[in-house]
Structure 1
């Protein structure tokens, strides 16, 4: 009887596989942000060095500059499902390394292991995100469902950002960092089990590339077309000046709310709330937004930059949290919108490599942005607030330039 009940449950989950996969990804994301919050606080508490925080974020994002190309090529050649499953196992191993670092080491050795854990997660997540972007097209029944479903991952990702940091802060305050990092490791089991037992994708739809020169990253860049190349180039520039807040979130929370793990959780949750609102708006208008890349890129970059300038004014706690909300909305819409555009409008055989190029643009640019922001924070007289003003001004100019020159660009 129990076996029949489990089979019936498995059948129901398979019939609703898109929702099942989305929820499994959300659980994993929440655990990941709980672990990232714990790591950030441990590094901040030990050294109070913004460069160490920026390095932790760079370890998560900069591997995309090296790994995204091979990840895209491998996804298009081997198939998205195989690469996705292997990447999930690698994420589990890297997260376990962070969990065991706490009881086994102290001081600089612990910092090194935590950074190595973040590096492993950064490499594995590059493969995971690249393969997942192509894989989700195998789960939809009709092509027009792809855009809204892709945008749904932005929403569920940011819900994880909302739930994970307060959970990580609560676990840090109540039980210490080991439990928070252990939770991070455990949640990677959910997508693994889902992929192995519950998914029934349309594998016959996938188009794989052949071995040889035609399957490299340069071919995808050349064959995707001038407009998609512009989308990728502009996104990289926008992230370089406006996507540093994930790396410096502990320092920003410290300056705004005070020295508490729960303060970090609150600050990152406000960012996540803005990201959720941006993601929902994008999901509901996926078809229209994907056809107007210039308007999307320019408006989201300008919104983020104006919020950074508003935050630099130090006009009070409520105002600062409102600006953090807008930063979350602007950056989430930019990143999810770019991913939506390049996946919907690229040929199926290129989508793995296009996902890799997208990650190079926004995560690689974000990693460099975090290091640049840390440098400006350390060298400018006003510290963090001057850094926000400088990068916000650059972002505003970039957004206005895009709106003036490409707001009428259309994709069929």
Structure 2
């Protein structure tokens, strides 16, 4: 993995500006994510409420993202992006103000998690769809996707420990306020870029939505890639929701313990992203998807069974690496398979399943943990991901044959 090859997309000036702004924005989002999960569990001690807030923050992806896809294809992406960022700044400012004033109660957290989820359901596929317009040629696109994912996963590595340190020294309100400021960085970067006019047809919303769904369903490799990402995120990704319970109940830890566990997952995710960036063809990406499933299954079993913090951090690292390798490889394959006129709709389907099923899995994991405890739930996740690994391995040959080289 030579460094110039890994950073190839940064030769494009537009992508370089966007990359810098997004680096700050995603770090701020992780500060808010960790602070909110800790605040919910600190105030209520309820794993069910922890799962509920995580569900509301991500579940709009299931319904809103598919509807956003046709709009993304038909509107100026830059203008749409700036509108969405304004809404996300407002949400973070309100959350910071309520927390700092001492007026915050649990229903505020539930409502604001839902508001964040609505904006995020548009923001994620919109950011994905903008990438093709920021690079100089299609050869850079796969690298740009991987670098974009590396920002998210680098923030997963840095953000949770940083959030733990900030929370230990100050309060949750500071994390929420810093997140509000971070949105301004990416908004300023995108405001300096040229407009990205509509690339899709001017047909009606329902017609455009139907055309996108038909394409995703009738294309064999796209259909199987989407099914795989839905299954993994409904089962394996739910471990993230349970991390405050693992930190506090299994290891009798503090918010700093949570930060280290989540940071280990982020370190693994960053490695998984770099593995995707170094892949040179479709066959290697499909193999990496199968390997990612294997890593997630084995390390979920380790996390379920260990009572040692060091092994739990190692397991968290392995889970993060495996799940990220699957998600980012799937993202890169879908973007290469989708035509320009349908890319927004295909990526909104990916976003809906990637984050929406994550939300459903987190909600179920929170409820089941309340009933049976965290270790049995993690063990059940490991068993389900193992079954999914066998399914994906049996379908990998057909995905390779149907995908473009």
TM over 0.5: yes
Structure 1 position 229 matched with structure 2 position 223: yes
The whole-number CA distance in structure 2 between the counterparts of 1:146 and 1:33 is 25
Q: Give 1:402's aligned residue.
A: 392
TM-score of the pair, normalised by structure 1:
0.90
Q: Give 2:237's aligned residue.
A: 243
Q: Give 1:100's aligned residue.
A: 97
Of residues 64, 67, 84 in structure 2, which corresponds to 1:67?
Answer: 64
Q: Give 1:378's aligned residue.
A: 370
Of residues 201, 215, 220 in structure 2, which corresponds to 1:209?
Answer: 201
TM-score of the pair, normalised by structure 2:
0.91
Of residues 181, 189, 195 in structure 2, which corresponds to 1:186?
Answer: 181
Aligned residue pairs total 391
Q: Is the 8 A contact 2:35 2:167 kept in 1?
A: yes
The whole-number CA distance in structure 1 between the counterparts of 2:29 and 2:77 is 22
Q: Give 2:353's aligned residue.
A: 361
Over 3 Å counting, the alpha-carbon distance change for 1:341 and 1:262 in structure 2 is same
The whole-number CA distance in structure 1 between the counterparts of 2:332 and 2:355 is 16
The whole-number CA distance in structure 1 between the counterparts of 2:296 and 2:88 is 30
Q: Give 1:138's aligned residue.
A: 133
Structure 1 position 46 matched with structure 2 position 8: no
Note the C-alpha offset of 1:259.
3.3
Structure 1 position 254 matched with structure 2 position 216: no
Of residues 273, 277, 287 in structure 1, which corresponds to 2:271?
Answer: 277
Q: Deviations over 1:153-197 (max 9, x none)?
A: 111111112222222212211111221110011100001111112
Note the C-alpha offset of 1:291.
4.6
Q: Is the 8 A contact 1:80 1:352 kept in 2?
A: no
Q: Deviations over 1:250-308 (max 9, x none)?
A: 112224543311111111111100000000111111x42x4566534333222211110
What secondary structure, in the 3-state scheme, does the structure 2 residue paired with 1:409 have?
A: helix
Q: Give 1:83's aligned residue.
A: 80
Unaligned runs of 5+ in 1: 1-12
What secondary structure, in the 3-state scheme, does the structure 2 residue paired with 1:211 have?
A: coil
Note the C-alpha offset of 1:79.
3.1
The whole-number CA distance in structure 2 between the counterparts of 1:24 and 1:52 is 33
Q: Give 2:303's aligned residue.
A: 311
What secondary structure, in the 3-state scheme, does the structure 2 residue paired with 1:243 have?
A: helix
The whole-number CA distance in structure 2 between the counterparts of 1:193 and 1:405 is 43
Q: Is the 8 A contact 2:221 2:398 kept in 1?
A: no
The whole-number CA distance in structure 1 between the counterparts of 2:46 and 2:255 is 16
Q: Is the 8 A contact 1:158 1:273 kept in 2?
A: yes
Note the C-alpha offset of 1:137.
0.4
Which of structure 1's runs of 4+ aligned residues deviate more than 4 A? 291-294
Instruction: Compute the RMSD of aligned alpha carbons.
Output: 2.0
The whole-number CA distance in structure 1 between the counterparts of 2:157 and 2:223 is 32
The whole-number CA distance in structure 2 between the counterparts of 1:80 and 1:159 is 25
The whole-number CA distance in structure 1 between the counterparts of 2:268 and 2:78 is 32
The whole-number CA distance in structure 2 between the counterparts of 1:148 and 1:215 is 32
